[in-house]
Structure 1
Amino acid sequence: MKSNRLSALALSTILSLSIVSGCNFKNSNNVKAADENTQLEAYTTNLPFNMPKLSLPTFQNKDFNITDYGAESGSITKNTDAFKKAITECNKVGGGRVVVPAGTWLTGPIELKSNVNLYLDSGALVIFSSNPEDYKKTDEKNSSSNSYKNLISGSNLSNIAITGDGVLNGNGAFWRPVKKEKVTDSIWKSFVSAGGVLDSAGTTVWPNKQVVNVKRPNLLNLSNCKSVLLDGPSFENSPQFNIDINSSENLIVRNTKIFNEYWAQNTDGIDISACKNVLIYNDTVNTGDDGICMKSGSSSKSNNDEPTLENVVIENCIVNHAHGGFVVGSNTDGGMKNIYVHNCNYIGTDSGLRFKSDIGNGGKVEDIYIDGINMKNIVNDAIVFDTNYEAKNTNNTSNKVPNFQNIHISNVFCDGAQEAANIKGLDAVPVKNLDLKNITIKSTNGFSAENTSNVNLDNVKITPSQGSIFTLKNSSGYNFNNVLCPTGTSTFISLEGSQTNNIKLTNTNISNAKQPFALDKNVNSSAITINK
């Protein structure tokens, strides 16, 4: 599978050098469309699961320049009406490109329509108004005084795109609160001295009274859409989430750049929720919350037999500062299945691979395949599973319980993390059927797991600077094969809890450890078996 896949991707790279990024050209033709489809097939074939065929949206060769509808460049004139008129006219005649030329374009909210490609020319900078009044909802039945329109939105649409090399700036600094604990003293003082509104504890500051405790808008929100392409633009300085797409199908996000300051509250990079048939590749994220995040909406089906999020491919993406590089959750209650993450780099993220959920938001997450991940300077955990994300009562397992299973992680290299792995399941619902293969992690602390079962470790090299390499609590069914025990190791495996048993070591030399095993009083000595 791997050799065929790499050959296909190499071919797609060659092809991409000779074509213009999807739908960014005016005079499209069948040859270019065929090349684009070949590129998509390279990413969506030879996968560990069957991925439905994806297709790019197509548009008429008609341009609707916003300047023809009264738009004026500069930072004074609001061009909200010009955007609306151009998009409406484009949709009315069957579609095409709404062109934003080079220049600075101030605007209020933009609402997309079907068959419209919003094209941002190189040098185009769209700046969204910092006045909350521009985003007030007019439908009183579906709005409240603290809820605003998203900056760019679309609902129940088909065949839409945002393309080009321009920039979308959400002016988020005029919306977001800043937490004192996240910034330096000088940055904190600058927000306070600029007239910010402090909370009673003096630990959070809002930029103005209008946005205190409001539901902030997202930079881009799409819901219930089909055939969607995001290709090329930069999304930056968002009030809240940057790219937020819900309940949509046939979705392609590629070549986008996302930037927010590290202290920017709740500014997730790419959030995909309850979507099916999704391809994300060649994207770069630097933000103040989760990098590339999978979520699922509620499902009426029992046990998530029909997950709301399914068939997602993420490739060749870079995540710099973020709470996590690849993230699942926290809401997983609709269920997730068939996600493939390949050839991604995470540098300086709080966590690398982050799985999080809690009782009340949980559901079945299964058949996740992660392969070829490089990490550097991870602040906390290289790999983390947290089934009690919001510290709820873990004894109540009757409703929407996190259930992580059948997860495969391979070919991971991490140079620097506080903890190699921290995996915590629930007493009644352990994290289970986890495969770790060809894993190399250099960290301060080692691998810890609680309430886990059926875990295979094959060619795993974890070198913590202190403590035990592996600490297992109430965990069972572990198979260690060719697992490194470095020279000078204090303790190779520490075992805790009465449920810990059936730990097998094969082709694993533990002679370098000063103390191969440390068992607490609740663990039977027969819990470990060594096979030569």
Structure 2
Amino acid sequence: MTLEQRNVRDYGIDDDDSLDTAAIQTALDDCAGTGGEVYLPPGTYRSAPLRVGDDTTFRLANGAELRFVQDFTAFPTVESRWEGWDQDGFHPCLHVADAANVTITGEGVIDGGGSYWWEFVSVPPEQYPSELTERLEEIRSGNKQDAVSTFTVRPPLLQIDGCENVTVSGVTLRNSPFWNTHVVYSDDVTIHDVSIRNPPDAPNGDGIDIDSSRFVRVSDTHIDAGDDAICLKSGKDEEGREVGRPTENVVVTNCTVEHGHGGVVIGSETAGDVRHVTVTNCTFTDTDRGIRIKSKRGRGGTVEDLRFDTIVMRRVACPFVINGYYQTDIDSDPEPVTEATPNVRNVDFHHITAEEVESAAFLAGLPEQRFEGISFTDVDIDATRPFDASDLSPAMARGYDQRHGVFCKSLGSVSFRDVRVTVPDGSGTPLTAEASSTVVLEGFETEADEGPAVVADGVEHLRIGGCVAPDDGEPFAHVRDGAAGANDGESSVLLAGNYGDMAEAVVSVQPETVER
């Protein structure tokens, strides 16, 4: 079936400095509902925000560039979701809302003119134009704010909101005022062979945000982002739990990520749950973190059933982060478990290489809600990059002293099978586990010039198999008993199928007595 094509130049495009909004929007409106294709031939087009409706293909030819105007007065106020809350903000540059059967495709460029908007983030609000100040006061009068809210009601470049069966392919999406591509409250969305580009210093310059949406596929896409590259969210705090719409059944495959705060990130907005996610055959280069799950008390929600397979990371500050203390203090007493307590369980990392990284992994649940079922299989981590290569906190948890090795705390169960961790000489322990239920090491290898390969402090069950005991008499593991728990504070150690005298290489170390 051949789609009826509407060339925007037939709608009165003038080759001058005037805006092309009316012509393009009229063509899109003519297609909506009746079906067909809106075609942008080669050339540069300037427009205010646009809206795409049902049964529409929007095709940008090779050599076509759609530039959105740098003028906040051209962007009306709309209701959508910004950073986990349903509230008002500036109209997305290209808005696909409450629509079905939409395709945005071609080899053209969609440019959000983000530099104009980013300037407002870098200056004090008292220096805003008076009209913008009044506008923001009007927008924010009914909106929620928290400690991390800045000018976060800026327009996303492409927002797919309340839609079904949407495909984005071939195009380049760049310079977004806020997030680049936001998929929210939508089902059956495909993003394929897309180039997403924001400068590294673009504030809130996420690549793709998948937010309370289902059946989303991201494939063969390159992302160079100013913030998280691919981010999965499901609402914030009490409102997010009341809305209760998870992000689920998501596949990310054959993607390359360059720069950004994280390669694939879940959270911190986890209130509606995130589950059933597969990420495979990807590379992350020069990102702050690689695979990152972040939440905190008050968020609530469960993150579960995630699989990360066949991934290569290079020059990443910390390749693996599971953080229940996002922007909060890691040293805290247990609190009552409520619906506001986040949980993470059943996360598998398989066949992954991380080279030239600073911290091997940060894996921390909560003392009242230990995160369960974290597994690493066939993973090689070279954590020999100096800390000052990036000067970044590995996880943005307060009170944590950075280290090169793997750090585990408050986990129900975590396993390392055929895992190799390399840290610099004299830099400390390759793997530290604290206050956790079960730690399994099978074929765990390290390169450490001194001290034990493993420190287990307050681990109830430590299982070591298929590992090699040092032949120079040095310890393989130091084990310290913890607070009273399942084993009355004593740690049980099971050894099976190791090489060398592992029984002699696992040393019980009593906590130091502190004189007061």
Q: TM-score range by the shorter chain?
A: 0.7 to 0.9
Farther-moved stretch of structure 1 (503-512 vs 108-117) = 503-512
CA drift of 1:90 comes to: 1.5
Residue 304 of structure 2: aligned partner: 366
CA drift of 1:525 comes to: 7.1
Task: Give unmatched runs, 5+ long, in structure 2.
Answer: 80-86, 137-149, 385-403, 484-488, 498-516
Note if contact 1:73-1:103 (Cα within 8 Å) is conserved in structure 2: no
CA deviations on 1:432-481 (whole Å, 9 max, x unpaired) are: 11111000000040110000122121100011112101100101211111
Identify the match of residue 63 of structure 2 among 109, 123, 148.
123
Aligned mates of 1:275, 1:525 — CA distance in 2: 45
Note if contact 1:318-1:344 (Cα within 8 Å) is conserved in structure 2: yes
**Matching of residue 437 in structure 1 with residue 377 in structure 2:** yes
**Matching of residue 152 in structure 1 with residue 94 in structure 2:** yes
Identify the match of residue 280 of structure 1 among 218, 240, 255.
218
TM-score for both structures, normalised by structure 1: 0.78
**Matching of residue 248 in structure 1 with residue 170 in structure 2:** no
Identify the match of residue 475 of structure 2 among 510, 515, 520.
515
Residue 483 of structure 1: aligned partner: 444
Farther-moved stretch of structure 1 (316-325 vs 514-523) = 514-523
Residue 166 of structure 2: aligned partner: 228
Note if contact 2:5-2:39 (Cα within 8 Å) is conserved in structure 1: yes
Structural RMSD (CA): 2.9
Aligned mates of 1:207, 1:318 — CA distance in 2: 39
Aligned mates of 2:67, 2:309 — CA distance in 1: 38
Task: Give unmatched runs, 5+ long, in structure 1.
Answer: 1-27, 29-59, 140-144, 180-195
Residue 512 of structure 2: aligned partner: none
Matched residue pairs, number?
Answer: 444
Q: Secondary structure at the match of 2:328?
A: coil
Residue 79 of structure 1: aligned partner: 20
Identify the match of residue 408 of structure 1 among 311, 328, 348.
348
Matched residue type, 2:325: N
CA drift of 1:353 comes to: 0.4
Note if contact 1:174-1:208 (Cα within 8 Å) is conserved in structure 2: no
CA drift of 1:385 comes to: 0.6
Residues 409, 164 of structure 1: alpha-carbon distance in 2 compared, 3 angstrom cutoff: same
Note if contact 1:359-1:397 (Cα within 8 Å) is conserved in structure 2: no
Identify the match of residue 462 of structure 1 among 417, 421, 435.
421
Residues 257, 451 of structure 1: alpha-carbon distance in 2 compared, 3 angstrom cutoff: same
CA drift of 1:359 comes to: 1.9
Residues 294, 82 of structure 1: alpha-carbon distance in 2 compared, 3 angstrom cutoff: same
CA drift of 1:287 comes to: 1.0
Note if contact 2:241-2:300 (Cα within 8 Å) is conserved in structure 1: no
Matched residue type, 2:5: D
Q: Which runs of 4+ in 1 moved over 6 A?
A: 205-209, 298-304
TM-score for both structures, normalised by structure 2: 0.80
Aligned mates of 2:348, 2:379 — CA distance in 1: 11
CA deviations on 1:456-513 (whole Å, 9 max, x unpaired) are: 211000111121011001012111111113362532111223xx22101001013168
Identify the match of residue 503 of structure 1 among 462, 468, 478.
462
Residues 485, 299 of structure 1: alpha-carbon distance in 2 compared, 3 angstrom cutoff: closer
Matched residue type, 1:458: R
Alignment identity in percent?
Answer: 26
Aligned mates of 1:269, 1:230 — CA distance in 2: 14
Q: Secondary structure at the match of 1:291?
A: strand
Which structure's residues are more often helix, by fraction? 1
Residues 417, 396 of structure 1: alpha-carbon distance in 2 compared, 3 angstrom cutoff: farther
Residue 22 of structure 1: aligned partner: none
**Matching of residue 492 in structure 1 with residue 453 in structure 2:** yes
Residues 72, 395 of structure 1: alpha-carbon distance in 2 compared, 3 angstrom cutoff: farther
Note if contact 1:175-1:206 (Cα within 8 Å) is conserved in structure 2: no
**Matching of residue 527 in structure 1 with residue 492 in structure 2:** yes
CA deviations on 1:84-115 (whole Å, 9 max, x unpaired) are: 100011125x1111111111100000011101
Residues 489, 341 of structure 1: alpha-carbon distance in 2 compared, 3 angstrom cutoff: farther
Matched residue type, 1:63: Q
Q: Secondary structure at the match of 1:244?
A: strand
Q: Secondary structure at the match of 1:78?
A: coil
CA drift of 1:209 comes to: 8.0
Matched residue type, 2:12: G
Matched residue type, 1:467: G
Residue 383 of structure 1: aligned partner: 320
Note if contact 2:228-2:261 (Cα within 8 Å) is conserved in structure 1: yes
Residues 87, 440 of structure 1: alpha-carbon distance in 2 compared, 3 angstrom cutoff: same
Note if contact 2:56-2:101 (Cα within 8 Å) is conserved in structure 1: yes
